[in-house]
Amino acid sequence: MKRSFFSGESGVSPDIQTAAVCLRAGGLVAFPTETVYGLGADAANAEAARKIFTAKGRPANHPLIVHLARAEDAMDWAADIPEVAFRLADAFWPGPLTLVLKKQTWIPEIITGGQDTIALRVPAHPMALSLLQAFAALPRRAAGAGIAAPSANRFGRVSPTAAAHVREELGGMVEMVLEDTTQAGCHVGIESTILDLTRLGTAGAVILRPGGLAASELAEVLGDLPRPPGGMSAPRVPGALPSHYAPGTPLRALDRAALGAALDAAGQTNRRCGALLCRDISGAPGLHVLRVLSAAPEVYARALYAALRELDRMEFAEILVEMPPDTAEWAAVRDRLFRAAAK
């Protein structure tokens, strides 16, 4: 008899139940979400959350996003929730939107980086949701059930979109890596959009990080476009950025013409490069390896991190990336590429 994924008496797969129990016991579990693979710990357990920072090599003052099984659970974690947050949650949860809200007082400082705000999201991946539901169903002492989960990679490196990426990078550091046994995959491919709703009266709704949900979609609920990310998140000068999402191989993001010229110049001095493109370029690649992702931003985003990992493994002198156009629909991808290119 074929065993369905959601088998077992409780309707929860044995792996997911084991993972939930492991999280409750203070362990680390990596699991698929529709954005990227997350490195999860019990968000109410400071000791467990601290293990995330050790495994990733993440600075302790970087707050973590708390993942919830249901939108209603936000009330356990956030205080003074503005009405617009409920409308956004209705429209976009489960999904790639993280809301920053005023926090409840009981939450461990390590989760919020000592700030008075909390970042919350209900993810859409079916395995992430079943894990969150199984976790929330277990007996607990804390006021809320949530899983803190940043991307399951070493700090600053390329985010994982497959279980194999996580095992490669953090294998020895986590108790469990949940294999994605559904067809869902990390179909968004880049991290969630982070929207700050804690300064509505003064700054309005502010995008802290562009991501899987477009600003234009948020505008349909907000009635207006959210404010774009300020300062470091909207890079005009990539070199000034903190490096993030970066492969080990040096990476340069260039427009199409400059990329063609750079490949020619590298070829003349026998420097082998990997190139990531939106559209194919004419002419033979020579020593270089070209990867054409897509001219459609959603398709490009889905394939981006796996392609960067693949090119990184090939040990080129340099990875050259075609920078997509400066339009709203490419904002999240451009943000990742600027940071991947930053030194």
Where along the sequence are the contacts to ligand AMP (CB under 6 A)? 62-65, 100, 112, 115, 117-119, 150-151, 191, 194, 208-209
The two tokens of residue 299 are 């398709």
119 binds, among Mg ion, ligand AMP, none (CB under 5 to 8 A by kind): ligand AMP
Interface positions with Mg ion (CB under 5 A):
151
In the bound state with ligand AMP, the residue whose beta carbon lies nearer, of 19 and 65, is 65
CB of 196 to ligand AMP, least distance (A): 7
As a whole number of angstroms, the distance between CA 5 and CA 241 comes to 43
110 binds, among ligand AMP, Mg ion, none (CB under 5 to 8 A by kind): none
In the bound state with ligand AMP, the residue whose beta carbon lies nearer, of 191 and 322, is 191
In the bound state with ligand AMP, the residue whose beta carbon lies nearer, of 117 and 294, is 117
Task: Output phi, psi for 243, to 5 deg.
Answer: -65, 135
Question: Going by DSSP bridges, is the β-strand pair 251-254/38-42 parallel, antiparallel, or unpaired?
Answer: unpaired
DSSP codes of every residue in 244-284: -SB-SS-EEEE-HHHHHHHHHHHHHTT--EEEEESS--SS-
64 binds, among ligand AMP, Mg ion, none (CB under 5 to 8 A by kind): ligand AMP
C-alpha 214 chain-centroid distance: 15
117 binds, among Mg ion, ligand AMP, none (CB under 5 to 8 A by kind): ligand AMP
313 binds, among ligand AMP, Mg ion, none (CB under 5 to 8 A by kind): none
CB of 186 to Mg ion, least distance (A): 13
In the bound state with ligand AMP, the residue whose beta carbon lies nearer, of 117 and 243, is 117
CB of 156 to Mg ion, least distance (A): 8
In the bound state with ligand AMP, the residue whose beta carbon lies nearer, of 211 and 238, is 211
Question: Going by DSSP bridges, is the β-strand pair 38-42/117-121 parallel, antiparallel, or unpaired?
Answer: unpaired
The two tokens of residue 315 are 């040990």
- Name the 3-class secondary structure at 102: strand
Give the 3-state secondary structure percentages of the chain, helix then strand then coil, rounded to 5: 35, 15, 45
Residue 306's H or E segment, with its range, is helix 297-313
CB of 229 to ligand AMP, least distance (A): 9
In the bound state with Mg ion, the residue whose beta carbon lies nearer, of 191 and 322, is 191
As a whole number of angstroms, the distance between CA 26 and CA 48 comes to 5
- In which order are the strands placed within the sheet that holds 318-322? 251-254, 318-322, 273-277, 289-292
CB of 251 to ligand AMP, least distance (A): 19
CB of 79 to Mg ion, least distance (A): 26
In the bound state with Mg ion, the residue whose beta carbon lies nearer, of 130 and 151, is 151
CB of 127 to Mg ion, least distance (A): 19
